[in-house]
């Protein structure tokens, strides 16, 4: 630790900060609550149309609490704040929570720091499902979700289900089997997606939109349909932080530490996949957050899932809300691009600071 | 007095291969026992039958008086801690965090560790003598240090019975002896019942008052080292000149 | 170890998709409205579009409130004549100006480049998204969006969910372009101007057809892009139909859902004329002739490789006739066409009262 002679001026500062964050996780948690609140306020307060903060506040108080503070704003402003920005910001928050918690779950369960919520075929399954949904010329809607979102949700779950079933039959250890089967099934589904895209004709563009991801379609009804799944699933995962910790030392040791390995593996995989599938059906394939947020949090607060899960949830939510705000203000750039642009440099700095021995 | 561990006519098989054949023994609380035998004799299977991860096809295993089959994973983990031969170590984890995992069977499922858990963890670290390693990343540790961390983890589990799978296999001579001395100390001072699978007959004979010798899944001998390590038996079970065994070990039974 | 196979693979697919899209949108993106599509069964070639106007009074003097059925079978209710119109496709923007409604346009898309007035309008649609918030902020009372995935469907349904009327237009063929112009005209209350425009356009189209009737029909390949794969018109697409009207025999991809054609197939089809829709991107006859495998084609050997302004040809808007005439002259260099409403279509009897006519 003292051998950081080559380090610049920032390094000791950041390293000291990291140590403090690790020994005082409550402080970090509180800090992130503030960051998330700030992100939510900014997310609702800013957009391509400028609305006075007083009016924004007045609209929120009026619509949420039923109080009239006597402000005067246009109907358009009210629609923008309450029907467009608020559900969109909350969707971004919920998806950020879901992807980070699912990512932390898969990384812990699979003992793989490079796992993300999509590692078991969820992404390819969702993408193929969405592509098929786009090609089927039927319009139905449930909670303002069309066939595309429904198929994405079902595709994601089916893909994980298939991966899980196949991986159980092999001679490999369960986790290696899952990773490799996930790779194989994911590749197969990606090939299916490529074929679907090739024959999709003019629908190609819609499939492409789904692959980019984003929060354009967010509405209260969509949020009502998915937030319970995502947040409920995330809470259930957090309640299983103990068993998830057991997996840190491998499945055999987890069993010796009192974890019912088979049951917990199925429950955690199932919950993680459900949360991911719901998040993907809202936002399409937003990458980066689910991989990097839990990884980064683990570097800062250590491997204990009781800290990693809630802190990842807060950081993921803040990052997603902030990224969506930037994406909107900068002219509707795909949100996945923004998350990567904001998150990657931060991640690289932390990687340089960490005292963790990196062997994968 | 209830036996800490009892095997009663246990037979088990992996796929078609028999790995344990009618194994019976009793270990009383406070005993220190080494399980020895050549490769493939069934030592690891015996350990796995103890933890419940290998289910016997006949016979029963009792842990602290209760049949293993009637205990759930958490109850087992409260009665038996296991030091694996080599555990996969998590990334970005510090020594005290890994040792803390030993409190898993005692944790409050919602709130996690309470102050009492932290005291137990600190005591385990102190007892094993790795206080200087606190704050270090476990992946930066030497193999000997990792072994001590895993023993501290098992100690934090606060189970009356501790099982170890080849605890000295990756260690140099000094660390082998230190680990053995630690086990003896834990056994004699704290009363922890210890069952260790050992490869090294010299270490087993020197540090353990009772040895159980396995061959082809069955118990060949069970008793004090002088008896179990008799020349005829070594020649019969290992198929080598007993002199080699004595010379290969660092310490020969007196 | 590469442990994130799925996403990286999807990433490369997305990149591939982006390339294809970029390739297909060399005509400033509106070319994405080529090809028949599953969701629009009423768009059968031959102008059965009239059916989609059924609920509307065919009278040019439509009165508000008004109920229309758009090209995506959506029912659009307009309580009063729209005064704040948002256009999300370049063709719609051109149409609005050509029928004299350009002054009511409050926002358009990033690609919109014609007429010159659009430069000053706020842009609310990019290639991949629609700024719903800004549209609401501008107080839009009618949004005209591109169907068949041209504008992000999520955004369209979002706008509708907010109670903003959204008219979705999608023209799979030449007749569809004309009926869309009438549909837009009805929606904005300029039905008579729209009908006068389409009558004049129909006359222009007929004159091109008449001029090329009886001429030999050379096998014609319209190159959309050939940077990597070779992209050309799908069979029965808008572009293939234009080539026919212009007196050519279109070489197509052979499948309505596929936009690219393998080189082998193109060599076997042996184009007699190659039209370079990608000339705006620097493609030239010399580059084409130097491509490996292309020199056996009749068009390459005879030098019948013609650059063209793809924006005018492939955009399903009021300048369609101009594009058709360019295409006819590219295919038949000696063709003499009768004059068409010079200098442009908007100089026809329906020049807009607001003075926002096309130059």
Q: How do residues C52-109 score in pLDDT, each as one tens digit? A: 333 344 444 568 899 999 998 899 999 999 999 999 999 999 999 999 999 999 999 9
Judged by a CB distance cut-off of 8 A, whether residue C336 touches chain A is no
**Cβ burial, residue B70 (10 Å; 0-12/13-18/19+):** exposed
Of C6, C21, C161, the CB nearest to A121: C6
* Subunit partners of chain B (3 or more CB pairs within 8 A): A
Q: If you measure CA to CA, which chain A residue comes closest to C4? A: A119
Instruction: List the beta strands (DSSP E) in B64-209.
Output: 66-67, 80-83, 161-165, 193-197
Judged by a CB distance cut-off of 8 A, whether residue C254 touches chain A is no
Judged by a CB distance cut-off of 8 A, whether residue B195 touches chain A is no
Between residues A143 and B218, the one the model is more confident about = B218
Q: If you measure CA to CA, which chain B residue comes closest to A299? A: B92
Judged by a CB distance cut-off of 8 A, whether residue A42 touches chain C is no
Between residues C356 and B43, the one the model is more confident about = B43
* Subunit partners of chain A (3 or more CB pairs within 8 A): B, C
Structure confidence at residue C60 (pLDDT): 47
Residue B185 binned pLDDT confidence (cut-offs 50, 70, 90): very high
Judged by a CB distance cut-off of 8 A, whether residue C75 touches chain A is no
Would the pLDDT of C159 be above 70? yes
Closest by Cα among A304, C260, C289 to B104 = A304
Of A242, A259, A356, the CB nearest to B139: A356
Would the pLDDT of C5 be above 70? no
Of A255, A306, A357, the CB nearest to B137: A357
How many angstroms away from the CA of A105 is the closest CA of chain B? 14
Of A253, A261, A359, the CB nearest to B139: A359
Residues of B with CB below 8 A from A261's CB?
A: 73
Q: If you measure CA to CA, which chain A residue comes closest to B90? A: A248
B61 bridge partner residues: B7
Would the pLDDT of C346 be above 50? no
Closest by Cα among C244, C263, C271 to C328 = C244
Those residues of chain A that have pLDDT short of 70 are: 1-15, 139-144, 170-172, 353-360
Residues of B with CB below 8 A from A239's CB?
A: 109-110
Q: Out of A117-121, B69-73, C136-140, C293-297, which region has the weakest mean confidence (pLDDT)?
A: A117-121
Q: List pLDDT tens digits, range C171-229.
A: 989 999 999 999 999 999 999 999 999 999 999 999 999 999 999 999 999 999 998 88
Residue C50 binned pLDDT confidence (cut-offs 50, 70, 90): very low
Residues of C with CB below 8 A from A208's CB?
A: 14, 17-18, 21, 128
Of B53, B77, B92, the CB nearest to A258: B77
Structure confidence at residue A88 (pLDDT): 93
Interchain CB distance below 8 Å, C3 and A179: yes
- φ, ψ of residue C106 in degrees (nearest 5): -105, -15
CA distance to B27, C135, C206, per residue, from B121 (Å): 27, 61, 91
Locate A79 and state its tokens.
């629609």
How many angstroms away from the CA of B177 is the closest CA of chain A? 25
- φ, ψ of residue C334 in degrees (nearest 5): -90, 0
Would the pLDDT of C13 be above 90? no
Of B52, B90, B92, the CB nearest to A354: B92
Average pLDDT in chain C: 81
Contacts 24+ apart (CB under 8 A), B207-210: B207/B32, B207/B34, B207/B180, B207/B181, B207/B183, B208/B32, B208/B33, B208/B34, B209/B31, B209/B32, B210/B31, B210/B32, B210/B33, B210/B34
Interchain CB distance below 8 Å, C258 and A201: yes
Interchain CB distance below 8 Å, A205 and C21: yes
Of A253, A259, A303, the CB nearest to B87: A253
What is the average pLDDT across C154-175? 92
Of C6, C133, C150, the CB nearest to A190: C6
Of C17, C134, C234, the CB nearest to A197: C17
Residues 307-326 of C with CB under 8 A from A: none
Residues of A with CB below 8 A from C9's CB?
A: 124, 186-187, 190
Q: How far is CA C123 from the centre of its chain?
A: 19
**Other Cβ atoms within 10 Å of B165 Cβ, number:** 21
Q: If you measure CA to CA, which chain B residue comes closest to A235? A: B110
What is the average pLDDT across C2-17? 48
Indicate the SS3 state at residue B13: strand
| Bond preceding residue A259 cis, omega within 30 of 0 | no
Would the pLDDT of C1 be above 70? no
B33/C160 Cα distance (integer angstroms): 77
Structure confidence at residue A1 (pLDDT): 41
Q: If you measure CA to CA, which chain A residue comes closest to C109? A: A331
Q: List pLDDT tens digits, range B84-107.
A: 987 778 878 899 999 999 999 998
Interchain CB distance below 8 Å, A242 and B102: no
Interchain CB distance below 8 Å, A332 and C37: no
Interchain CB distance below 8 Å, A207 and C132: no
Q: If you measure CA to CA, which chain B residue comes closest to A303? A: B93
Q: If you measure CA to CA, which chain B residue comes closest to A304? A: B97
Would the pLDDT of B253 be above 70? no
Structure confidence at residue A113 (pLDDT): 79
What is the average pLDDT across B34-60? 91
Residues 109-148 of A with CB under 8 A from C: 112, 114-116, 118-119, 121-124, 127, 134-135, 137, 144, 146, 148
Structure confidence at residue A177 (pLDDT): 83
Judged by a CB distance cut-off of 8 A, whether residue B90 touches chain A is yes
Judged by a CB distance cut-off of 8 A, whether residue C19 touches chain A is no
- φ, ψ of residue C11 in degrees (nearest 5): -60, -45
How many angstroms away from the CA of A235 is the closest CA of chain B? 11
Residues of A with CB below 8 A from C20's CB?
A: 197, 204
Average pLDDT in chain B: 89
Judged by a CB distance cut-off of 8 A, whether residue A157 touches chain C is no
Q: Out of A153-157, B206-210, C60-64, C259-263, which region has the weakest mean confidence (pLDDT)?
A: C60-64
Residues of C with CB below 8 A from A224's CB?
A: none
Q: Out of A36-40, A172-176, B126-130, C312-316, which region has the weakest mean confidence (pLDDT)?
A: A172-176
Q: For B109-124, b where at least 16 C-beta lie within 10 A, e where not — what string?
A: eeebbeeebeebbbeb
Of A190, A202, A208, the CB nearest to C18: A208
Structure confidence at residue A10 (pLDDT): 55
Interchain CB distance below 8 Å, C7 and A80: no
**Other Cβ atoms within 10 Å of C53 Cβ, number:** 15
Interface test with A, best of B50, B52, B80, B90 (most A CBs within 10 A): B90
Judged by a CB distance cut-off of 8 A, whether residue B92 touches chain A is yes
CB B26 within 8 A of CB B32: no
Between C5-24 and A122-135, two packed helices, what is the crossing angle to 10 degrees?
Answer: 30
What is the average pLDDT across C23-50? 35
């Amino acid at each position: 630790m003292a051998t950081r002679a080559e380090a610049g001026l920032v390094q000791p500062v950041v390293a000291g900060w990291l140590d403090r964050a690790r020994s005082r996780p409550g402080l970090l948690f509180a800090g992130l609550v503030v960051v998330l609140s700030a992100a939510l306020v900014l997310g609702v307060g800013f957009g391509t149309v400028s609305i006075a903060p007083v009016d924004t506040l007045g609209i929120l108080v009026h619509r949420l609490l039923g109080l009239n503070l006597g402000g005067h704003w246009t109907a358009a402003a009210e629609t923008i704040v309450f029907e467009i920005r608020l559900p969109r910001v909350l969707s971004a928050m919920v998806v950020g929570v879901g992807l980070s918690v699912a990512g932390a779950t898969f990384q812990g369960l699979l003992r793989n720091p490079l796992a993300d919520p999509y590692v078991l075929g969820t992404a390819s399954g969702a993408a193929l499902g969405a592509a098929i949904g786009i090609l089927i010329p039927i319009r139905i809607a449930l909670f303002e979700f069309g066939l595309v979102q429904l198929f994405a949700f079902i595709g994601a779950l089916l893909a994980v289900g298939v991966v899980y079933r196949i991986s159980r039959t092999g001679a490999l250890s369960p986790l290696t089997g899952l990773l490799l089967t996930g790779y194989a099934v994911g590749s197969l589904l990606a090939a299916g997606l490529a074929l679907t895209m090739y024959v999709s004709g003019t629908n190609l563009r819609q499939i492409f939109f789904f692959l980019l991801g984003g929060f354009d379609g967010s509405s209260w009804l969509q949020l009502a349909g998915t937030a319970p799944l995502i947040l409920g699933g995330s809470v259930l995962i957090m309640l299983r932080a103990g068993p998830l910790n057991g997996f840190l030392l491998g499945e055999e040791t987890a069993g010796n530490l009192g974890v019912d390995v088979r049951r917990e593996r199925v429950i955690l995989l199932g919950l993680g996949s459900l949360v991911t599938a719901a998040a993907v059906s809202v936002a399409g394939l937003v990458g980066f957050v689910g991989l990097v947020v839990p990884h980064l949090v683990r570097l800062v607060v250590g491997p204990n899932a009781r800290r990693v899960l809630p802190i990842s949830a807060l950081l993921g939510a803040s990052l997603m809300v902030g990224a969506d705000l930037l994406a909107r203000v900068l002219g509707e750039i795909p949100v996945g691009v923004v998350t990567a642009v904001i998150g990657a440099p931060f991640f690289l700095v932390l990687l340089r600071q960490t005292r963790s021995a990196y062997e994968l | 007095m209830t036996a800490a561990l009892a095997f009663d006519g246990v037979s088990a098989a992996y796929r078609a291969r028999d790995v344990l054949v009618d194994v019976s023994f009793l270990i009383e609380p406070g005993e220190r026992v080494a399980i020895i035998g050549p490769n493939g004799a069934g030592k690891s299977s015996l350990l796995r039958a103890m933890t419940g991860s290998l289910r016997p096809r006949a016979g029963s295993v009792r842990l602290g008086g209760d049949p293993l089959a009637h205990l759930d994973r958490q109850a087992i983990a409260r009665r038996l801690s296991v030091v694996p031969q080599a555990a996969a170590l998590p990334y970005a984890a510090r020594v005290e965090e890994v040792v803390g995992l030993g409190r898993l069977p005692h944790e409050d499922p919602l709130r996690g560790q309470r102050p009492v858990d932290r005291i137990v963890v600190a005591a385990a670290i102190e007892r094993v003598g790795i206080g200087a390693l606190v704050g270090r990343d476990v992946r930066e540790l030497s193999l000997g240090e990792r072994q001590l961390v895993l023993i501290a983890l098992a100690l934090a589990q606060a189970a009356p019975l501790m099982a170890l799978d080849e605890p000295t296999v990756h260690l140099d001579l000094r660390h082998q002896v230190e680990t053995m001395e630690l086990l003896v100390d834990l056994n004699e001072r704290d009363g922890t019942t210890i069952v260790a699978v050992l490869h090294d007959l010299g270490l087993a004979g020197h540090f353990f008052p009772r040895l159980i010798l396995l061959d082809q899944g069955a118990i060949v001998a069970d008793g004090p080292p002088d008896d179990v390590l008799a020349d005829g038996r070594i020649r019969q079970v290992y198929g080598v000149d007993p002199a080699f065994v004595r010379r290969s070990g660092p310490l020969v039974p007196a | 170890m590469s442990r994130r196979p799925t996403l990286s693979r999807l990433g490369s697919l997305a990149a591939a998709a982006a390339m294809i899209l970029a390739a297909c949108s060399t005509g400033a993106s509106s070319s994405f409205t080529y090809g028949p599509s599953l969701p629009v069964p009423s768009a059968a070639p031959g102008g059965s579009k009239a059916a989609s106007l059924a609920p509307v009074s065919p009278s040019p003097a439509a009165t508000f409130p008004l109920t229309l059925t758009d090209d995506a079978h959506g029912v659009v209710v307009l309580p009063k004549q729209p005064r704040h119109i948002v256009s999300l496709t370049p063709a719609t923007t051109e149409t609005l100006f050509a029928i004299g409604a350009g002054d009511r346009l409050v926002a358009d898309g990033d690609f919109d480049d014609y007429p010159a007035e659009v430069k000053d309008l706020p842009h609310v649609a990019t290639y991949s998204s629609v700024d719903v918030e800004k549209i609401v902020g501008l107080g839009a009372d009618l949004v005209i969006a591109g169907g068949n995935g041209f504008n992000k469907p999520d955004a369209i349904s979002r706008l509708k969910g907010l109670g903003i009327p959204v008219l979705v237009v999608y023209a799979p063929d030449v007749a569809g372009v004309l009926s869309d112009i009438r549909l837009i005209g009805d929606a904005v209350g300029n039905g008579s101007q729209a009908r006068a425009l389409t009558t004049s356009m129909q006359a222009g189209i007929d004159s091109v057809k008449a001029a090329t009737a009886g001429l030999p029909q050379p096998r014609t390949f319209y190159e959309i892009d050939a940077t990597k794969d070779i992209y050309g018109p799908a069979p029965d697409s808008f572009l293939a139909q234009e080539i026919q009207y212009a007196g050519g025999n279109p070489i197509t991809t052979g499948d309505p859902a596929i936009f690219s054609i393998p080189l082998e197939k193109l060599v076997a089809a042996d184009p007699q004329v190659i039209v370079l829709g990608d000339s705006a991107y620097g493609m030239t006859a010399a580059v084409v002739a130097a491509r490996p495998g292309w020199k056996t084609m009749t068009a390459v050997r005879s030098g019948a490789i013609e650059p063209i302004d793809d924006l005018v040809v492939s955009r399903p808007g009021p300048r369609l006739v101009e594009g058709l005439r360019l295409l006819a002259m590219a295919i038949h260099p000696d063709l003499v066409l009768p004059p068409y409403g010079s200098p442009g279509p908007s100089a026809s009897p329906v020049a807009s009262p607001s003075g926002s006519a096309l130059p």
